[in-house]
Amino acid sequence: MTIQLAIENLTKLYPTGEGVRNIDINVRQGEMVTLLGPSGCGKTTVLRSVGGFVDPSGGDIKITNQSVLHLPPEKRPTAMVFQSYNLWPHMTIYDNLAFSLKIRKKRKEEIKQKVSWALDLVRLPGVEKKYPAELSGGQQQRVALARALLLEPKLLLLDEPFSALDAKLRHELREELREIQARQQLTMLFVTHDQEEALSISDRIVVMNAGEIEQIGTPKEIYDQPSSLFVAEFIGKMNFLSGLAEGSHVKIGSLQFPTIEQLYGPITACVRPEDIVLAGAEGIEAKIDKIMMLGHYAEATLHTLFGKVKMFIGREEMERLQLHDSIKIQFSKIHVFKGTKIHNHTREEIVC
């Protein structure tokens, strides 16, 4: 696979001291890579640097092995879809889409044919004569996508394109985008703060925090083997338990777990709710505090010696468990990180 986009040692510092440092990302041809992180983590800065709207302070950006750093946005082989305000309200959809083609001096029949091709692709045939204000938010984003596709970019940049839409529409467009991407063999760099979105559509995810890359990996890698406490906290649901590491094992309260990391001192152990399972007599004492029905599974909040933990219960078990029941649980898998949890926000807060 050839490398379509190479970001090498990119640095951009703003006068306020914020910015991004030492960013290295490679995107292969036909790949969809997501930049994921909380707001202010610098993901948009990276994306806009690639698009040419931000001047990096250092590093290089290569598209198909050619540096594009000296090129203004209009000369770069990229196309960008913004979060909102993509379309020009004084032009019809046709004119919006034909804008770039007219600049490139295409013949009229060709423009016509390409515009209707692009609208077919985003499943909006026949809206050429309408004005953007006559379309819904989701339709406008589709048109914006169509316009970006008409640029025939070597790299498509998407800056939280669906975050202004409601949940259902977001899911729909996500799927469609993935389909179009696969069909057109598009290379994409996608920015989002929504970890669910990132997990569901990416080939690989770049998790960013405070201007630096925390982890790069496939959605599965990021979910199953978070490389830092931040990633563990940001991706998916997670329980945090504080404990003490003593070389070959960690102690969480009275429990002992073997580790291979050889850590010493205070640690945080992370357990996914699905990795908490019902156990026999030797398990940990827990009391069911709350059960939230979430469709094909339920989320139970348990009171234990280590504080509150959340676990998922499947359909069959749901029948057997009652509120305020005492049960025994055990952890089938834990992740151990050095230090204590600093960020105190829950995942829900980050998503909003």
The span from the CA of 332 to the CA of 301, in Å, is 18
> Least distance to another protein from the beta carbon of 179, Å?
23
Q: Do the Cβ atoms of 262 and 248 come closer than 8 Å?
A: yes
Q: Do the Cβ atoms of 341 and 233 come closer than 8 Å?
A: yes
Choose one: 13-21, 34-42, 67-75, 325-333; the region binding another protein (CB under 8 A): 67-75
Does 73 contact another protein by CB under 8 A?
A: yes
Q: Do the Cβ atoms of 143 and 122 come closer than 8 Å?
A: yes
CA dihedral 81→87→92→93, nearest 10 degrees, is 20
Choose one: 84-92, 265-273, 289-297, 338-346; the region binding another protein (CB under 8 A): 84-92
Choose one: 82-90, 219-227, 281-289, 337-345; the region binding another protein (CB under 8 A): 82-90
> Least distance to another protein from the beta carbon of 84, Å?
7
> Least distance to another protein from the beta carbon of 100, Å?
4
Q: Mask of contacts with another protein, 36-65, x by CB under 8 A?
A: ---------------x-x------------
Q: Mask of contacts with another protein, 106-145, x by CB under 8 A?
A: --------------------------------------x-
The span from the CA of 87 to the CA of 85, in Å, is 6
> Least distance to another protein from the beta carbon of 349, Å?
27
Does 264 contact another protein by CB under 8 A?
A: no
Does 14 contact another protein by CB under 8 A?
A: no
Does 12 contact another protein by CB under 8 A?
A: no
Does 79 contact another protein by CB under 8 A?
A: yes
> Least distance to another protein from the beta carbon of 160, Å?
11
Nearer to another protein, 104 or 333 (CB): 104
- Other beta carbons less than 10 A from residue 324's beta carbon: 9
The span from the CA of 97 to the CA of 58, in Å, is 35
What residues form DSSP beta bridges with 244? 251, 266
Nearer to another protein, 6 or 91 (CB): 91
Does 85 contact another protein by CB under 8 A?
A: yes
Percent composition of the chain: helix, strand, coil (DSSP 3-state, to 5):
30, 35, 35
Selected from 88, 172, 218, 315, the binder of another protein by CB under 8 A is 88
> Least distance to another protein from the beta carbon of 243, Å?
47
Q: Do the Cβ atoms of 7 and 23 come closer than 8 Å?
A: yes
Tell which positions 151-170 bind another protein, by CB under 8 A.
Answer: 151
Q: Is 130 exposed, middle or buried (0-12, 13-18, 19+ CB in 10 A)?
A: middle
The span from the CA of 80 to the CA of 85, in Å, is 12
In the sheet with 204-209, reading across from the earlier edge strand, the strands are 78-81, 155-159, 188-192, 32-36, 204-209, 212-217
> Least distance to another protein from the beta carbon of 73, Å?
5
The span from the CA of 181 to the CA of 33, in Å, is 12
Selected from 10, 80, 186, 302, the binder of another protein by CB under 8 A is 80
Residues sharing a CB contact under 8 Å with residue 73, sequence separation 6 or more, in sequence order: 51, 52, 53
Binding residue count for another protein, defined by CB under 8 A = 26
The span from the CA of 308 to the CA of 301, in Å, is 7
Choose one: 32-40, 88-96, 244-252, 327-335; the region binding another protein (CB under 8 A): 88-96
Q: Which residues of 262-301 are buried (b: 16+ CB within 10 A; e: fewer)?
A: ebeeebbbbbbbebbbeeeeeebebebeebeeeeebbebb
Does 84 contact another protein by CB under 8 A?
A: yes
Nearer to another protein, 71 or 350 (CB): 71
> Least distance to another protein from the beta carbon of 159, Å?
9
- Interface with another protein (CB under 8 A): 51, 53, 72-75, 78-80, 82-90, 99-100, 103-104, 144, 147-148, 151
